[in-house]
Amino acid sequence: MTTHKQLHLNAFLMGNGHHEAAWRHPRSKPEQAGTLAHFAHLAQVAERGKLDSVFFADSLAINDNIRFNSMGRFEPLTLLSALAAVTEHIGLIATVSTTYNEPFHVARKFASLDHLSNGRAGWNIVTSARDDEAHNFSRDSNLGHADRYARATEFLDVAIKLWDSWEDDAVLRDKASGVFADTDKIHALDHSGEHFSVRGPLNVPRPVQGRPLLVQAGSSKDGKDFAARYAEAVFTAQQTLEEGQAFYSDLKARIAAFGRDPDGVKILPGICAIVGSTEAEAKQFEQELNDLLNPEYGLRQLSSMLEHDLSAYPLDGPLPDIKSEDDINGGKSRFTLVTDLAKRDNLTIRQLLARLAGGRGHRTFAGTPEQIADELEIWFTRGAADGFNVMPPLLPGGLEDFVDHVVPVLQKRGLFRTEYTGATLRDNYGLDRPASQFAPTPELELVS
């Protein structure tokens, strides 16, 4: 089956890959995951595959599982600035928290990245879910879930006003008159709200894209409402086609309720694709990775995700009855996804750890390039996705496998671009450049 509509692909990159045991596999070179050359290679591979963007997640505390796996990360905007210099087309998306930053800082950093990359910056907006992050910012505990989203809403409103504070034609550079900028087109905000007081304007001219691509990743009710109001791309996690379709239709309806065009928001479920030349080869690769799992590592990860210490429960027993989503202050939607998965498939804790090892709740699929392309096409054409957040199990090999073998199948089916046709990240996603809210509205001509 072919379609004129084409899907979008974002490469979600982690140092060694998304599988928990990736760094232990013979194909992995974990000593390289702390180098610029490693990430430059990944970005260039993704660009070779004509992917829309690369994305780096971030958190503001070291994971207490560092004994078993390296979860430390470079500061993503610093890394993406370096990658901007070795790529030309691919979008550059970074996670930045609204809970432990200020709007002026974040607006300035993304405006800078957008200028330095000629219009390729994107912001994955998170509210930070963990108490150990709070401990690094003079707080005893994290904000409550609703409070985090209230702060995020005001934060983003201020950031957008800061990006818009310079009109597009404010910079004159008129050597003859000596006027560098038209100050009538540079606007103070004088914002005074519950969380922030910001005078403005920004000290960087308006970004190339007007503002960076706005991405959101939470799937709780608050998260979906926030995405419906602001997001232009949504990273999400579902395990089944039916779950994907339900999320897709729900979020698109919420977007319309906010008076926005649902087609202007791209929904990208995560997929950890394990590629083999045969199905047996792919399954063997998956088993090799799972054989290297450390149960203690996985159990700590799962306990943190569920906000419940599972160390006293037998690995070969069922997941115990624990909290409900309403009791969770961290990642509410991921809690529900994981507990539903365990119940639906009647998994033991050990089996659940293996199912989560490749993508922490994102879907894992092992198969041939054609089988993987089939799965992506089904989700895309049956109303569950506008594209996918590609999560290679191991790097760099997993990304190379996807780009060199899966992407050509999608291209042959007419589902994915064969060349970049625009210059900016918004162009890649088929999105318009927003007008500045401070720019005067053109007067309508009167018809006589």
Report DSSP letters for 423-437, one per residue.
Answer: SSHHHHTT-PPPPPT
Quick check: 92 pLDDT over 50?
A: yes
Angle between helix axes 145-164 and 221-230 (nearest 10 degrees) is 10
pLDDT of residue 299: 77
Q: How confident is the model at residue 2 (pLDDT cuts 50, 70, 90)?
A: very low
Cα–Cα distance between 100 and 59 in angstroms, integer?
A: 10
Q: Which residue has the higher pLDDT, 118 or 21?
A: 118
Q: What is the pLDDT of residue 400?
A: 98
pLDDT for res 205? 97
CA 297 from chain centre, in angstroms, equals 24
Average predicted confidence (pLDDT) for the chain: 89
Confidence of residue 85 (pLDDT cuts 50, 70, 90): very high
Pairing verdict, β 91-97 and 53-56: parallel
Q: According to the model, what pLDDT value does residue 311 have? A: 72
Tell me what pLDDT residue 1 has: 35
pLDDT for position 132? 84
Domains defined for the chain, CATH in brackets: 8-274+362-428 (3.20.20.30), 294-356 (no CATH)
**How many CB atoms are closer than 10 A to CB 355?**
19
- Smallest CA-to-CA distance from 403 within 86, 48, 88, 56 is with 48
**Cα–Cα nearest to 208, from 80, 111, 133, 286:** 111
18-27, 95-104, 229-238, 340-349: least confidently modelled range: 340-349
Dist CA 419 CA 90 (whole Å): 11
- β-partners of residue 215 are 124, 233
For 137, the 3-state DSSP assignment is helix
* Residue-level pLDDT at 140: 87
pLDDT of residue 365: 92
Secondary structure (3-state) at 382: coil
Tell me the per-residue pLDDT of 42-77, one tens digit each, with 9 for 90 and over: 999 999 999 999 999 998 888 766 777 765 579 999
CB burial string 74-105: b at 16+ within 10 A, e below: bebbebbbebbeebebbbbbbbbbbbbbebbe
Q: Say what the pLDDT of residue 329 is.
A: 58
Question: At residue 338, does pLDDT exceed 80?
Answer: no
Which residue, 143, 55, 132, is CA-closest to 99?
143
The CA distance from 386 to 383, in Å, is 8
- From its phi and psi, is residue 342 left (phi > 0), alpha (psi between -120 and 50) or beta? alpha
Q: Read off the pLDDT of residues 177-223 as tens digits, 9 standing for 90 and up.
A: 999 999 999 999 999 999 999 999 999 999 999 999 999 987 778 88
**pLDDT at residue 325, as a whole number:** 58
Q: How far apart are CA 44 and CA 86, in angstroms?
A: 8
Residue 307, Cβ density class (10 Å: 0-12 exposed, 13-18 middle, ≥19 buried): middle
25 near 288, Cβ under 8 Å? Answer: yes
Q: What's the one-letter identity of residue 124?
A: N
pLDDT at res. 43: 98
The reported pTM is: 0.88
- 21 CB-near residues (< 8 Å, 6+ apart): 289, 290, 291, 292, 293, 294, 357
- Picking from 1, 11, 68, 6, the residue whose alpha carbon sits closest to that of residue 393 is 11
Closest CA to 221 of 326, 324, 307, 126: 326
Q: Is residue 398's pLDDT more than 90? A: yes
The confidence band for 333, taking pLDDT boundaries of 50, 70 and 90, is low
The pLDDT assigned to 97 comes to 95
C-alpha torsion sign, points 357, 358, 363, 364: negative
- pLDDT score recorded for residue 3: 46
225's enclosing H/E stretch is: helix 221-230
pLDDT value of position 276: 97
Mean pLDDT within 101-110: 98
Q: Name, in order, each residue with C-beta under 8 angstroms of 283's C-beta and a sequence gap of 6 or more.
A: 276, 366
Percent above pLDDT 90 for the chain: 66
pLDDT tens for residues 273-317?
999 999 999 999 999 998 888 877 777 777 777 777 777 777 777
Report the alpha-carbon angle 354-356-360, nearest 5.
Answer: 155
Give the C-alpha separation, 427 to 359, whole Å. Answer: 29
Is 363 within 8 Å of 295 (Cβ atoms)?
A: no
Residues 229, 259: Cα–Cα separation, whole Å: 9
Per-residue pLDDT at 412 exceeds 50: yes
